[in-house]
A and B are shown apart, each in its own frame.
Chain A
Amino acid sequence: DGGITQSPKYLFRKEGQNVTLSCEQNLNHDAMYWYRQDPGQGLRLIYYSQIVNDFQKGDIAEGYSVSREKKESFPLTVTSAQKNPTAFYLCASSIGGVYTFGSGTRLTVV
């Protein structure tokens, strides 16, 4: 079945460390997105990419970086510059305005 795979499901990071969250899709969608969700809050856009080798900052890009070297993959790196990284991270892809989301990665800083 086509879909979006995010890994790992749970991730623990020590303060000061960079960590990369994986997002892979086999839907052949051009556009991909990363959202962050804090407890009891809505989703906030971190980065998005409309096409391979191109991406744009969303509303809360500081402390994050992305790459889009392949259509299928859109990894997100949470850097040590992100002051409050503990959150639920969601990856999505879209075509024609309809988004498909992954099951998320829950990142905890310890």
Chain B
Amino acid sequence: DAKTTQPTSMDCAEGRAANLPCNHSTISGNEYVYWYRQIHSQGPQYIIHGLKNNETNEMASLIITEDRKSSTLILPHATLRDTAVYYCIVRALAYGNKLVFGAGTILRVKS
């Protein structure tokens, strides 16, 4: 699975959009981009995933560049409860593949 690079930490004001970047320059054509988040002392929570088109759900939007070498997770109106570690993971959808977690980005939403 391709390796990802994320900033160590970011701050965001409450009510503003949080834009979390992820670089995955070695991504293969069959690898998806997944985003999970982990609130302190809880299990990770699935947010969104995509292959090449932009995706949106009730939690967030995922913007993938045309060359697929980077992506951005957007939380449109961040709240204090969005403070968490956000993991960007690339993974092929194939039998036997596992999620490999990096260090992620610590997002601090401040009032």
A→B interface (CB under 8 Å): 4, 33, 35, 41-45, 48, 50, 56, 58, 88, 90, 92, 94, 96-104, 106
Contact = CB atoms under 8 A, between A and B. Distances in A.
B93 A99 contact: no
Nearest to A106: B41
B52 to A, nearest CB: 15
B59 to A, nearest CB: 13
Most B-side CB within 10 Å, residue of A42, A58, A92, A98: A42
A96 B93 contact: yes
Interface string B69-87: 0000000000000000001
Given A42-B102, A43-B101, A45-B100, A100 B46 contact: yes
Contacts of B99: 33, 92, 94, 99
Interface residues of B, number: 23
Contact of B36 (A33, A58, A99, A102): A99
Most B-side CB within 10 Å, residue of A50, A58, A99, A100: A99
Is the contact region of chain A dominated by helix, strand, or loop, or is it mixed? strand
Nearest to B87: A42
Interface in B91-106: 91, 93, 95-104
Contacts of A97: 32, 34, 49, 91, 93, 97
A101 B98 contact: no
Contacts of A96: 93
Contact of B44 (A44, A56, A99): A99
B43 interface: yes
A96 B83 CA distance: 27
B45 interface: yes
Contacts of B87: 42
A50 B94 CA distance: 11
Given A42-B87, A97-B34, A92 B43 contact: yes
B43 A103 contact: yes
B72 to A, nearest CB: 20
